[in-house]
A and B are shown apart, each in its own frame.
Chain A
Amino acid sequence: MTGWIDRALEEHEQVEQVRRGSPQPAPGTVREEAVLERIDRTRRARPRVREDRITMSHGAGGKATQSLIEAIFLEAFRNPLLEPLEDGASLSVGDTRLALTTDSYVVSPLFFPGGNIGDLAVNGTVNDLSMTGATPLYLTAGFILEEGFPVEDLTTIVTSMAKAASDARVQIVTGDTKVVERGKADGCYINTAGIGLIEPDVNLGVAHARPGDMIMVSGPIGDHGVTIMLARGELDIEADVVSDTAALNGLVADLLDATTGIRALRDATRGGVATILNEIAKAADVGVLVSEDAIPVRTPVRGAAELLGIDPMYVACEGRMVVVVDETGAEPALAALRAHPLGAEAAVIGQVTAEPAGIVQLRTSFGGTRIVDLLVGDPLPRIC
């Protein structure tokens, strides 16, 4: 009856057995530090999927998503190109370095203030390519349409896609269409894949972060997620906020021109900035220390997040990125970001530290210090 608990306890026993090799502390003398080290070890253990079935958490971009990717997909497909689990893969074809990525879009509602699923599908994939440092070139578009979906809506979506592609200077060069029976999908899902060119001297990745590096965001966080949440009309909250969906390739090009010190770029989509910071800490085995006061959040987003009890740090953006840059590159990087319309409100939010490795700390506005962990559960499904 309590199968999953037994399994969890079994795992616990395995961790305990390792500990039993060392002398046991007397009861009542368990030190907090020792417990924290044990937890750190547990967290480094290989992730596994405990659930018998997929839950919404597996799509939320947090811990469950990570477990699913690492335990199921990476396990089956493992190869050196996939293993870094970056936003896109970097491939060499002859002397040319290419970036390749794919992303599916299931956002609900399909139309929201500031955009729709169409421009989201183009911008998202352009951004995934850009985060590898590539210049995005060509996109594919796959549509899964539900029987009964209005052609007028499809036309609007496709027109937005065309405009977004033209703005981002990419071409949609191949595609696919499938229609499923009414009730088997929610109107329209879109998959886009993209290919881009990486310059020979560009080599980005969150694993490259080093103590002393500076961490920036390219603008206020959480606009997209809060917009979607309010657009669903379930909350009876109104706020003056629109999605930040935008293609970041122009901004990234300016940034890479300004300094050779860029270590990593990540667009803060599902799971938000908090998730990216955790990925940096884990991949590079470093600490990350950010300051709440320094993180730009628009007032309506803060207000809505306060009311709903969610943390803007975990709310998705669709046109914002986190930049890791070495100390000397920090000044030109910030200047380059701020000189571009999409980066006008860019800010340094913190830095990379040596210790405690794998952990993201936040100096709160109140003046305390706390951890920022990966998101658990799913406050907001189908954000993109």
Chain B
Amino acid sequence: MRFVDEFRDSDKARALAAKITSLCEPGRQYKLMEVCGGHTHTIYKHGLEDYLPEQITLVHGPGCPVCVIPMGRVDDAMALAAEPGVIMTSFGDMMRVPGSNGSFFDAKARGTDIRMVYSPLDALKIAKQNPDRRVVFMAIGFETTAPSTAMTVLRAASSGITNFSVFCNHVTIIPAIKAILDSPDLRLDGFIGPGHVSTVIGCRPYEFIARDYGKPVVVAGFEPLDILQSIYMLMLQLSRGESTVENQYSRVVPWDGNVTALKAIGQTMELRPYFEWRGLGFISHSALKIRDSYAAYDAELIFKVPGVRVADPKACQCGEVLKGVLKPWECKVFGTACTPETPIGTCMVSPEGACAAYYNYGRLTRTRVKEASRT
């Protein structure tokens, strides 16, 4: 299949892997963080780690939209969904995220009207089709999905739809990366930069990582060869003692981002003073809310949102996993109490979550792979 198979060529992968291995200094361990959950998914789905020398460890980062939603926000959404006349809508990934009283799926089974949509525009369509109902879209995601929410709010405003609102949970990636860089738990050598987010924000916002923290950043695409090439580019910088921001995903990511998308976000949303991230706690200026000029579309103003902070279950170590301090399997409840069918933590829910990716695809050590090839 064109535009897919070229990026999964195993001969090219072998050649890149050999170059990567040759750049490893003897005795040195390298820790590279892939910020984006989409990368984590690709890495596990294609078995990319099989190509890497043992000296290189990939650390999974916080860029998974569903993973960073704190339990309190899920409970708030449930409260919204239970308001009279409300149809709650959200992306499929959100449906299984556990709140303190179960997930959207459980609420749906109890009779709450919750519908899965593929785009916020679908939610707007539902609002148009159901003028006597109040349709709320639970918006999640980084700068990647924020523009589509923004465009939907603009569309609602221009077409005079009044029974539609957004429960805004959009977050921004830079404060999260900064929180990780400032965390004493972890020493990273470089970053595989988030590709989709960068199509919107461009590459400039990462420059402080290279300049102030001395770590190389390579913005990467989502096919396995993209990621392998980005690792090679990072290793090349590290071998030369350099730290700059490079763009491997130049076929999609413009250096300056997408100005139209940024304008739409700026027109409809503004930074919140602070926002709670699951496992990472409150981070200032790290999330977006609907601007006052579009207050008519802000579910948090239209409805009474409880806004109660709910502590994560004690046994759950999503925070450590999100920061890359723990490998998924190092979490106390991984795979026993917390599994994809009965997730306790968010990282086990989304296909972009490190725990789900590892449980579904990666539950294999090198010994196990060897055992299989022997028979």
Contact = CB atoms under 8 A, between A and B. Distances in A.
A39 B336 contact: yes
A193 to B, nearest CB: 28
B96 to A, nearest CB: 6
B48 A368 contact: yes
B335 A370 contact: no
B44 A370 contact: yes
B256 interface: no
A366 B10 contact: yes
Contact of A211 (B100, B313, B375): B375
**Per DSSP, are chain A's interface residues mostly helix, strand or loop, or mixed?**
mixed
A373 B102 contact: no
A376 B375 CA distance: 29
A22 interface: no
B126 to A, nearest CB: 11
Interface string A1-42: 110110011011001100000000000001011011011001
Contacts of B49: 368
Nearest to B103: A55
Contacts of A303: 1
Interface in A313-343: none
B224 A55 contact: no
A365 interface: yes
Given A355-B371, A369-B50, A302 B1 contact: yes
Contacts of B360: 371, 373, 376
Interface string A58-83: 00001110010000000000000000
B337 A368 contact: no
A181 to B, nearest CB: 19
Contacts of B110: 53
A84 interface: no
Nearest to B329: A35
A355 B372 CA distance: 6
A353 B337 contact: no
Contact of B313 (A9, A39, A51, A64): A9
A12 B322 CA distance: 22
B45 A364 contact: yes
A289 interface: yes
A62 B340 CA distance: 11
Interface residues of A, number: 61
A239 interface: no
A369 B340 CA distance: 20
Interface in B312-368: 313, 315, 327, 329-330, 333-342, 344, 351, 359-365, 367-368
B100 A366 contact: no
Nearest to A30: B330
Interface residues of B, number: 62
A57 interface: yes
Given A36-B368, A377-B96, A354 B375 contact: yes
A163 interface: no
B337 to A, nearest CB: 3
Interface in A348-365: 353-356, 359, 361-365
A366 B108 contact: no
B217 to A, nearest CB: 24
Contacts of A55: 105-106, 108-109
Contacts of B92: 379
A93 interface: no
A362 B361 CA distance: 9
A368 B46 contact: yes
B181 interface: no
A50 B243 CA distance: 50
B224 A369 contact: no
A376 B51 CA distance: 28
A244 to B, nearest CB: 19
Contacts of A370: 44-47, 361-362, 364
Centre residue among A12, A30, A306 by max chain B CB count within 10 A: A12
A367 interface: yes
Given A366-B13, A366-B46, A9 B51 contact: no
Interface string B35-47: 0000000001111
B46 A356 contact: no
Contacts of A359: 363-364, 368
Contacts of A379: 92
B336 A15 contact: yes
A365 B8 contact: yes
Given A1-B101, A12-B336, A369 B342 contact: no
6 contacts: A36-B335, A36-B363, A38-B336, A42-B335, A42-B336, A369-B50
Given A356-B364, A364-B45, 4 more contacts: A36-B363, A64-B341, A356-B368, A370-B47
List of 9 A-B pairs having minimum Cβ-Cβ separation, nearest first: A368-B47, A12-B337, A39-B335, A367-B10, A376-B340, A53-B109, A366-B46, A355-B371, A353-B375
